Amino acid sequence: MDKRGVVIIGSGLIARFHAQAVNASDKLELKGFCDLFSLESAKKAAAEFGGAAWGDYKDAFSAEGVNMATVATASCAHDEAVFAAAEHGVPVLVEKPLAITTARIDAMIAACRKSGVPLGCIFQTRWDEAFVDAKRRIDAGELGRITYAGIRVPWWREDDYYTKSSWHGTWAGDGGGSLINQAIHLVDWLVALMPPVREVKAFAAALAHPVETEDTVSAALRFEGGALGGVYATTAAFPGRGKTMEVAGTKGTIAFSDEATGTSRPDQLPFTGHQKCFEAFADSLEGGTPYPIPGEEARKSVALIEEIYKSAGLGRTENF
């Protein structure tokens, strides 16, 4: 099988992990970086990791050998990259959240469907053993009747995480704060493991950081079928603790806790999860197992997040 030629859209922090994941894979080949915001930054990334640098989607998507894209731009700019990929017929895998609103996601799904371009979302923790094991046990009915499912992401970020970024913690750039940016991986686990959420009662506030969005969310959930649940997401819990998930039932309980004890800094992530994610997408393009997080699946976490923000009275969706 020929290697898939990958263009990385964006050249910031997570794009570097994308590049390492691509370079470590024998199924993928890095063709270069495209950054509409900063060609200089794309050039630096290309010099470090390989490939060319482009400041224009057209040049990047039509470059020789490019037949897969990963999107690693600020969350607000995911949709425009996907529209361009769809226009050029390039299968596209996008960082979480797929986009900052479900309205944008719907437009992305429609554009990809129209041009027959596969669209997937990067939730690299779906390949974690803890998730795979939880899904197997829940699907097999090992927990009996599920009575509760909750997640907690009690993290800390310094103020400069927000003040030095043009988009973190803004409605227009990030689509929210601790919930949509940091806690979304576990929100994704919840929506993948549980039936749909039917009711939400939530509070959200900016308690510790200079953000226009929230830095702390507390939500109570009721799932279809009656199970109750909870979401706690924050970047205001110094010094930060590991994230946890609990799913309890009449015959068993799953209690997940990761080992992160500090601030869970994004620059200290391993790239191996991304590699598994990218290879699963590439395999699906060769006719292998369908990629488990297509656009429709990735929409679910953003839809729940929208409901939580709405219940908390943030009126977020009206800002776009």
Ligand X SMILES: NC(=O)c1ccc[n+]([C@@H]2O[C@H](COP(=O)([O-])OP(=O)(O)OC[C@H]3O[C@@H](n4cnc5c(N)ncnc54)[C@H](O)[C@@H]3O)[C@@H](O)[C@H]2O)c1
Task: From 163, 114, 154, select the one nearest 258 (Cα to Cα).
Answer: 154
Residues 153-182: x/- map of binding to ligand X (CB under 6 A)?
------------xxx-----x-------x-
Each residue of 77-91: b (16+ CB within 10 Å) or e? bbbbbbbbbbebebb
Is residue 74 part of the contact set for ligand X (CB under 6 A)? yes
- Nearest distance in Å: CB 259, ligand X: 16
Give the count of beta carbons closer than 10 Å to the beta carbon of residue 144.
Answer: 12
- Nearest distance in Å: CB 26, ligand X: 22
Each residue of 146-173: b (16+ CB within 10 Å) or e? bbebbbbbbbbbeeebbeeeebbbbbeb
Which residue among 21, 22, 77, 254 contacts ligand X (CB under 6 A)?
Answer: 77
Which residue among 29, 35, 214, 215 contacts ligand X (CB under 6 A)?
Answer: 35
**Which residues have CB under 8 Å from 263's CB, separation 6+?**
155, 156, 157, 239, 240
Q: Which is nearer to ligand X, 102 or 248 (CB)?
A: 102
The tokens describing 52, both together, are: 């060319």
**In this structure, what is the dihedral angle of CA atoms 39, 45, 49, 51, given to the nearest 10 degrees?**
0
Q: Which stretch binds ligand X (CB under 6 A): 11-19, 85-93, 129-137, 241-249?
A: 11-19
The residue sitting closest to ligand X, measured at its beta carbon, is 12
- Nearest distance in Å: CB 18, ligand X: 9
Is residue 122 part of the contact set for ligand X (CB under 6 A)? yes
Element containing residue 255 per DSSP (H, E): strand 253-257
Is residue 10 part of the contact set for ligand X (CB under 6 A)? yes
Alpha carbons 273 and 17: distance in angstroms, whole number: 10
Q: Which is nearer to ligand X, 167 or 281 (CB)?
A: 167
Which residue among 67, 73, 102, 170 contacts ligand X (CB under 6 A)?
Answer: 73
Q: Which is nearer to ligand X, 36 or 90 (CB)?
A: 36
Task: From 185, 201, 205, select the one nearest 193 (Cα to Cα).
Answer: 185
**Lookup result for tokens 């908390």:** 312
Query: What does the longest C-alpha to C-alpha distance in the chain come to?
Result: 57
Residues 260-279: x/- map of binding to ligand X (CB under 6 A)?
------x--x----------
Q: Which is nearer to ligand X, 185 or 248 (CB)?
A: 185
Q: Which is nearer to ligand X, 36 or 248 (CB)?
A: 36
- Nearest distance in Å: CB 307, ligand X: 20
Is residue 75 part of the contact set for ligand X (CB under 6 A)? yes
Q: Which is nearer to ligand X, 117 or 298 (CB)?
A: 298
- Nearest distance in Å: CB 271, ligand X: 10
Alpha carbons 136 and 145: distance in angstroms, whole number: 15
Name the site residues for ligand X (rule: CB under 6 A): 10-15, 35-38, 41, 72-77, 95-96, 122, 124, 165-167, 173, 181, 266, 269
